[in-house]
Structure 1
Amino acid sequence: MAKKIADQLIETLAATGIERIYAVTGDSLNEVNEAVRKNDKIKWIHVRHEETGAYAAGAEAQLTGHPGCCAGSSGPGHVHLINGLYDAQRSGAPVIAIASAIPTYEFGTEYFQETNTIKLFNDCSYYNEVATTPKQFPRILQSAIQTAITRKGVSVIGLPGDLAKATSASVDSSTHAYPTKSEICPAEEDLAQLADLLNKHERITLFCGIGCRGAHEEVIALSEKLNAPVVYTFKGKMDVQYENPYEVGMTGLLGMPSGYYSMHEAEVLVMLGTDFPYSAFLPDDIKIVQIDIKPERLGRRAKLAIGLCGDVKMTIQALLRMLNPKTNDSFLVKQLKRYEGVKKDLAAYTEDKGETNKIHPEYVMSEIDKLASDDAIFTVDTGMTCVWGARYLQATGKRHMLGSFNHGSMANALPQAIGAALACPERQVIALCGDGGLSMTLGDLQTVVQYKLPIKIIVFNNRSLGMVKLEMEVDGLPDWQTDMLNPNFAQVAEAMGMTGFNVSDPEEVLTTLYNAFEIDGPVLINIMTDPNALAMPPKIELGQMVGFAQSMYKLLINGRTQEVIDTINSNYKHIREVF
């Protein structure tokens, strides 16, 4: 029996190792849906929104290293994919997106649901082509798969509906993936130059990103040899922090003073596998070295003394034999002592649990950290949830944390948790959602129930767009249009078929979390957190204090005195950080 193009597509994807397609079916996608139904090696995951599907596919790819797959039908389905595909592309997640399209003979006629997939997806993909003939299709499919795997990003396959049902042609290209692993190390003379620089200076700090994944032992060995404190990015935390006697925390908006000052008081900063975008947190008066697997990233965030292209693990291994061990550890000891003070402050914030309907989020996150398994997968919504996750979730060497760290979109935590739970069914998956983020993808709670995914969804319900509110206050503006009138999320969850808990009393947080984690199935815990809880940056500038004071003044003169009082009462603990 002749094989359809749709069947050829699904067989090739299955042979590549893809086990799921996250999608909402629709007319131009129906042949693909039917091909999945007939194939026992690949499953169709019926999400409620294509954006959820793209996020779930990206999460699966990040956790497994294998391509994820999502699909959207012509027109609206394409547009709904965009946000999740941008996140996958910027996260380095190999994702195959199938964009089924209108019939080829209707191209360019403003036909119903027509979109130009080339124009639409070009900015969020490495490969983006439309197949138009059976002979062409296998080549495009092979190119898309190979590009996604090797470049670690998105490949889009435009598949017209009439082509999907057409009979396949003989194949003269390969039909399976060829994963490649290149070992890249800087040239010997470049390493010698770097070693000479490091041997001549005493105060050296390492700044580690996601590129240090798999190089934990090498990072510690380098730190030990140089007596260098280790700072890390949010993305790099789970791969660098654990069992590391030299770590001093993060820097950046979510970071800590110990991380910030370890970098700014150094003579040399060595950036390892990070394209940290916030230049304001990088020192501008010291020597900076950057080592990255992608040479196009070198020097675009800071002025470099040396920039090298290489795999972090291999580069450190080659560099270590060229370095002289440092005997003076005074700089390291100073930063570690500062870090101990920071950790005491962070712990102190968790001791105040808050009050009714104003539960302190620091306390909540610290309890989640204690109860979560050693190999838990956390997904964190962009916003204030990221702040508390960055500061209170601890690495174990087995845990993973997913977020929209580069794209910075709201509403990522629930969709990513769906992908994580399907890709790693043996692991605990905890979605840490903001009320704003969850509101955007609320319908996909039903997806969690439909596939019986035992995700624990914890809502930090501060009834506001908390991070935006804080940004406005720092800029001297009264917060405006940031308040959220929310449904009872626990009741919504129960209406959809999962267990739901409401927590408004801080004394009930620990018991409720414990009981929820013991339930074998999906659970949503709606925790009423303090809407006025502030996140202090690692270094507070005068302009930020002035802006915040102006914001509070504007609230006062507009009759919002109680909000100012509530803000002060909620954040008295931060006063010593300011002064």
Structure 2
Amino acid sequence: MQVASFLTEQLTKWGVKRIYGVTGDALFAWMEALGKQESIQYVACKHEAAAAMMASAEAKLTGRPAVCTATMGPGTVNLLNGLADAWADQVPVVAITGQVESHKLGGGYKQYIPQEDVMRPICKYTTTVTHPDAIGMVLHKAFTIAAQQKGVAHISICKDVFNQVTTAQIVPELPRVSTAVRPDRIEMEHAAERLLQARKPLVLLGVGARQDAEGCRRLAEQLGAGVLLTLGAKGVMEESHPLVLGGLGEGGSESGLHALAETDLLVILGASWFPRSYMPKQLPIIQVDSHAESIHAHPQLSSVTANLDDVLPLWSRRLETRQLDYAWEEQVERWHAKFWEETQRLTDQSPDEPIKPETLIHALGNFVKEDAIIALDTGEHTLWFNRAFRVSAQLPLFSGKWRTMGFGLPAAIAAKLTCPDRQVVCITGDGGLQMHLAELMTAVEQNVSILLVVVNNATLGLEEIKMKHAGYTPFGVKMRNPDFVLWAKACGVDGRSVQTVEDLQRALNEVRDVKQLTLLDVASTPPTLSERKKQIPFQAQA
């Protein structure tokens, strides 16, 4: 069969449900093959960066390779921002791009660029297909590497190759991906001894803690330890739990800072990042992670390279005889109460006042369903989500280490397509939305029911705050926004303007059970985020 047909049938056989992309002349033969079948949904995006972000979001939700595509030249280059998000957050994405005809490689032809050179910094694997018989082996290798190594794989296919006949045969299934790590018993036992000796322990949970949420909860309860949650770990433990103290860093809580100042051991589970400036320099740390490259270089850190489900049961057995320090646990519970009160204090507004971003985020926390997916764009509202959104079991979906603006709406579209039975709420700033405003039509075309909440403060809020904190006069951050409600209506979307706290409560009640794409344009006050570093009790000696 032709390469274009082989590609389509092989992806179908491997369970690919969607391909996100923007077409172009290097892909025409493949587009025709995709158009003649119904097993794979082609999601036609308005910009290639958004297509790659959608693939990254799907991979974050499923853990399986997601697929995006673009044509040669500018199409391929436009993919980079979304692919970099997948690279930074270590999720499996396969990008399939068109390239100039094989006889034009290396020449001065329009839209030619050496794609492997462009892609190499963010890819686990990248290659160019110049002969039809190579497609089977190359595709198999790309998917296997993306799945096993949790990253981006890229295949460039020359335009003329798509129409050529291949001798490659359909492979029924991919190899089983093993995530097993052989743990070191001595490492685990040594760490267990330190846990037994700790009198004032803290646990920091990251996104990797989702693989054994119950085990993490049991460990914290056995230790009587305070629990800090990174943004990716929100929902691993409900924040109403008396041991949870909120987040760490700019999006963290005051209670978490006080606990860090007094703890004698920090246990990091499944977190590949932590803000060092918020920690005492001599604080002893134990970190458990299945990837050695995610272990932090820290002079006071002891590492355990293993999966949590290997480590936590052993630690649980060792801790059965440990005597709890009730004074520490009681102190943690007092900090928890203050953490819980902190949000109420921050969001105490009268009904006729303009809406502070923290009030909006807290109100959304009381509105969304327990199993909702919250697609977050990057901005001031992201930090307020960490501080003011009280999670029970909701799942945040965000650009973690890459932190690109414009991620929210594409991620929400992919989330609803991937998990159609779950509520999906997108929280985006006006700056982030304007980067991919055209994808609102993609959402319309895909008929996805998303609640799109726009924090409209006419500025790049996080950049304005950072400039002020650094002693600069904010410049280049103010925005002139369109009327987002009119834009929504022009796209066939229900749009509503929200001006006051009273308006917000009314609007949320009205859209609670709405089953259609809806935009809330929420007029927000200027940025309100305070700088946490100024409140760290141990800042002077650190």
TM-score range, shorter chain: over 0.9
- The runs of at least 4 consecutive aligned structure 1 residues that moved more than 6 Å come to none
Question: Does residue 271 of structure 2 align to residue 274 of structure 1?
Answer: yes
Q: Distance in 1 between matches of 2:502 and 2:316?
A: 51
1:177: how far off?
Answer: 1.8
Question: Does residue 206 of structure 2 align to residue 192 of structure 1?
Answer: no
Question: Does residue 56 of structure 2 align to residue 58 of structure 1?
Answer: yes
1:147: how far off?
Answer: 0.9
Asked whether the equivalents of residues 256 and 538 of structure 1 are also in contact (C-alpha less than 8 Å), the reply is no
Cα 1:32/1:264, change in 2 over 3 Å:
farther
Question: Does residue 494 of structure 2 align to residue 496 of structure 1?
Answer: no
Query: 2:248: which partner in 1?
Result: 251
Asked whether the equivalents of residues 291 and 312 of structure 1 are also in contact (C-alpha less than 8 Å), the reply is yes
1:508: how far off?
Answer: 0.9
Question: Does residue 110 of structure 2 align to residue 112 of structure 1?
Answer: yes
> What are the Cα deviations for residues 450-502 of structure 1, in whole angstroms up to 9, with x where unaligned?
11111110000011000000001111112112111100011101001111111
> What are the Cα deviations for residues 484-539 of structure 1, in whole angstroms up to 9, with x where unaligned?
11000111010011111111132211111222333321111101000142244265
Query: 1:562: which partner in 2?
Result: none
Query: 1:85: which partner in 2?
Result: 83
> What are the Cα deviations for residues 326-363 of structure 1, in whole angstroms up to 9, with x where unaligned?
3312223213212311321211222215756x311222
Query: 2:391: which partner in 1?
Result: 395
Partner of residue 140 from structure 1, selected from 134, 138, 141 = 138
Asked whether the equivalents of residues 142 and 175 of structure 1 are also in contact (C-alpha less than 8 Å), the reply is no
Aligned length: 539
Question: Comparing 322-331 with 476-485, which one deviates more in the overlay?
Answer: 322-331
> What SS does the aligned partner of 2:369 have?
coil
Asked whether the equivalents of residues 209 and 274 of structure 1 are also in contact (C-alpha less than 8 Å), the reply is yes
Q: Distance in 2 between matches of 1:264 and 1:156?
A: 46
Question: Does residue 122 of structure 2 align to residue 124 of structure 1?
Answer: yes
Identity %: 28
Query: 1:452: which partner in 2?
Result: 447
Map 1:463-502 onto structure 2 (within 5 A). Answer: 463-502=458-497
Q: Distance in 2 between matches of 1:231 and 1:309?
A: 21
1:200: how far off?
Answer: 2.2
Map 1:316-355 onto structure 2 (within 5 A). Answer: 316-323=312-319, 324-353=321-350
Asked whether the equivalents of residues 246 and 339 of structure 2 are also in contact (C-alpha less than 8 Å), the reply is no
1:241: how far off?
Answer: 3.5
Partner of residue 293 from structure 2, selected from 296, 311, 320 = 296
Q: Distance in 2 between matches of 1:151 and 1:463?
A: 41
Query: 1:434: which partner in 2?
Result: 429
Question: Comparing 10-19 with 195-204, which one deviates more in the overlay?
Answer: 195-204
**What is the TM-score normalised by the length of structure 1?**
0.89
Q: Distance in 2 between matches of 1:106 and 1:33?
A: 22
Q: Distance in 2 between matches of 1:179 and 1:434?
A: 40
Equivalent AA in structure 2 for residue 5 of structure 1: V
Asked whether the equivalents of residues 208 and 240 of structure 1 are also in contact (C-alpha less than 8 Å), the reply is no
Specify every segment of 5 or more residues in structure 1 that has no aligned partner in the other structure, as ranges. 545-579
**What is the TM-score normalised by the length of structure 2?**
0.95
Question: Comparing 175-184 with 473-482, which one deviates more in the overlay?
Answer: 175-184
Q: Distance in 1 between matches of 2:198 and 2:94?
A: 47
Query: 2:360: which partner in 1?
Result: 364
1:276: how far off?
Answer: 1.4
> What SS does the aligned partner of 2:160 have?
helix
Cα 1:59/1:480, change in 2 over 3 Å:
same
Map 1:200-211 onto structure 2 (within 5 A). Answer: 200-211=197-208
Q: Distance in 2 between matches of 1:242 and 1:183?
A: 31
Equivalent AA in structure 2 for residue 400 of structure 1: L
Q: CA RMSD in A?
A: 2.0
Asked whether the equivalents of residues 86 and 124 of structure 1 are also in contact (C-alpha less than 8 Å), the reply is yes
Equivalent AA in structure 2 for residue 485 of structure 1: R
> What SS does the aligned partner of 2:157 have?
strand
Equivalent AA in structure 2 for residue 501 of structure 1: R
Q: Distance in 1 between matches of 2:313 and 2:502?
A: 50
Partner of residue 520 from structure 2, selected from 496, 510, 525 = 525
Equivalent AA in structure 2 for residue 119 of structure 1: D
> What SS does the aligned partner of 2:77 have?
helix
Q: Distance in 2 between matches of 1:305 and 1:483?
A: 43
Asked whether the equivalents of residues 260 and 539 of structure 1 are also in contact (C-alpha less than 8 Å), the reply is no
Q: Distance in 2 between matches of 1:348 and 1:274?
A: 29
Question: Comparing 266-275 with 427-436, which one deviates more in the overlay?
Answer: 266-275
Q: Distance in 2 between matches of 1:31 and 1:359?
A: 51
Q: Distance in 1 between matches of 2:203 and 2:274?
A: 16
Asked whether the equivalents of residues 19 and 43 of structure 1 are also in contact (C-alpha less than 8 Å), the reply is yes
Question: Does residue 394 of structure 2 align to residue 417 of structure 1?
Answer: no
1:4: how far off?
Answer: 0.8
1:392: how far off?
Answer: 2.7
Query: 1:550: which partner in 2?
Result: none
